[in-house]
Structure 1
Amino acid sequence: MRTLLALGLALLLSGCLSFGGGSGRSREEVERLRQTIVVDALGQIGRPYRYGGNNPDGFDCSGLVQYVFAQSGVKLPRSSREQSEIGKEIDLDDAEPGDLLFYSFTGGRIDHVAVYLGDGQAVHAPASGRQIIVAPVAQKYWMQKFVEARDVLN
């Protein structure tokens, strides 16, 4: 246990477990992270939406993202707006599994985030009274609200 704690502390201090963007991770490490994040996000399907939720008892969108990334040792900020400020913006057509998709329901600031799964699908914690879902990225409802895609792992 002490060895694991020491290793975790060493990784944190070296920046490997910090906010994404310019992480210096190897291509292989990023691919493993992407796979793990996708599996963890899919594992939350059907869990309840809960405003302010950040654990399997209930998630809001940014809590879901923060939680699944943390399961892989990647620390992200808590809010969707803060999450949209890290990493690098990418074209939606270039999105890879584990990238983040940002939306605005108000027509202004970012107020929703989802995890891209690949194959045109994303995991969302959509709204009160709903559950965590997989939805097509190209669905008209989501495309009308789409703002940007970001890679927070490279």
Structure 2
Amino acid sequence: MRALIVAALLLSLSACLGGGSIRPDPKNDATRREIVLDALGQVGRPYRYGGTTPSGFDCSGLVQYVFAQSGVKLPRTTRQQHADGRVVDMDDAVPGDLLFYSFSGHGIDHVAIYLGDDEAVHAPATGRNVIVASVHLKFWRQHFVDAVRVLP
């Protein structure tokens, strides 16, 4: 099943990055593909508060780890990661962009990696595992704050 998800997302990723009148940087395309593949490779790993490795991730630890695997250095916390890029409209989000959420009502406190095709990888909470979820699920929509592009 995971292989089918990966194949479908790769197909949508190549379509998302290859169209339009402005041609993205091919190196960026490759980096985005690596990020998507590595994020998908972490699905099923356990959530661990403060976790930054495949033995257990929190949300920002997952993002930092996945991007580092592609040579992209990001800060550690969700708020720092949010400040590290530029906000883009969700309709313009591309695979590898970051999606930020607020559950406390006191600023950014969750981040996920956008996969394209309206899906994102999350390290959601204690007692759960890394998941793929639709950005259109009511739970995620209610808490969504920003889409942020950290890659050029």
TM-score, structure 2 as length reference: 0.84
In structure 2, distance between residues paired with 1:91 and 1:137: 14
Q: How does 1:10-29 map to 2 (within 5 A)?
A: 27-29=25-27
Where structure 2 has 5 or more consecutive residues not aligned to the other structure, the ranges are 1-23
| Structure 1 equivalent of residue 111 of structure 2 | 113
State the identity %: 65
Q: Report the Cα offset of residue 125 of structure 1.
A: 0.2
| Structure 2 equivalent of residue 9 of structure 1 | none
| Structure 2 equivalent of residue 138 of structure 1 | 136
Hey, which bits of structure 1, 4+ residues long, moved more than 6 A? none
The answer to whether structure 1 residue 91 and structure 2 residue 89 are counterparts is: yes
In structure 2, distance between residues paired with 1:44 and 1:86: 23
Which among 97, 100, 106 is matched to residue 98 of structure 2?
100
| Structure 2 equivalent of residue 82 of structure 1 | 80
Counterpart of 1:144 in 2: which secondary structure?
Answer: helix
Q: Report the Cα offset of residue 118 of structure 1.
A: 0.3
The CA deviation string for residues 77-104 of structure 1, in whole angstroms up to 9 with x for no partner, is: 0000100001110000110000000000
Q: Report the Cα offset of residue 107 of structure 1.
A: 1.4
Which structure features the higher share of helix residues? 2
Larger Rg: 1
| Letter aligned with residue 96 of structure 2 | G
- How many pairs are equivalent? 129
In structure 2, distance between residues paired with 1:31 and 1:106: 34
Where structure 1 has 5 or more consecutive residues not aligned to the other structure, the ranges are 1-25
